[in-house]
Amino acid sequence: MYRIGELAKLANVSKRTIDYYTQIGLLHVDKTSKSNYRLYSEQALNDIQFIEECKLFNMCLQDIKERLELKRSQTNEEDKLIKQAEILAKHMKQLEHEINELKPIFDKMNGENQEIIASRISPQSMALMQSLMILLH
């Protein structure tokens, strides 16, 4: 069991972030010590790492919460996969919207800057997006 400061240090986030995640239901306090410290389990550390990974992909906290709840649920694997696909489809629509908003700016850039932007989108990312589109359709 970890106190909030220990958990924050291990997860490389602030105590305030942990408080916020707990407040909105992303994390759960497992116990309270005799000294009234909130104690978090190893699962909380895993959950924070998962949350931070999802945030790297610009997932909103509501979608992250749904994914965490799905991970924790006793739902059968097939239903989990269906729900996960729904969440991913929603996220992909959000990303599509962001791309469409940026496209006019991209089109106005000179060729060299366009190449720089395009080079930052790795072939693996493109392959992943294509795979997800095939899976979801």
Query: Per-residue pLDDT tens for 8-31?
Result: 999 999 999 999 999 999 999 999
Which tens digits make up the pLDDT trace of 71-101? 887 778 888 778 778 877 887 788 778 778 8
- pLDDT tens for 37-57 read 899 999 999 999 999 988 887
Task: Name which residue leads in pLDDT, 58 or 35.
Answer: 35
Scan for tokens 């060729």, then name that residue.
111
For the entire predicted model, the pTM comes to 0.64
d(CA 112, CA 27): 45
Q: Are 50 and 21 in contact (CB under 8 A)?
A: no
Q: Which 3 state secondary structure label does DSSP give 23?
A: helix
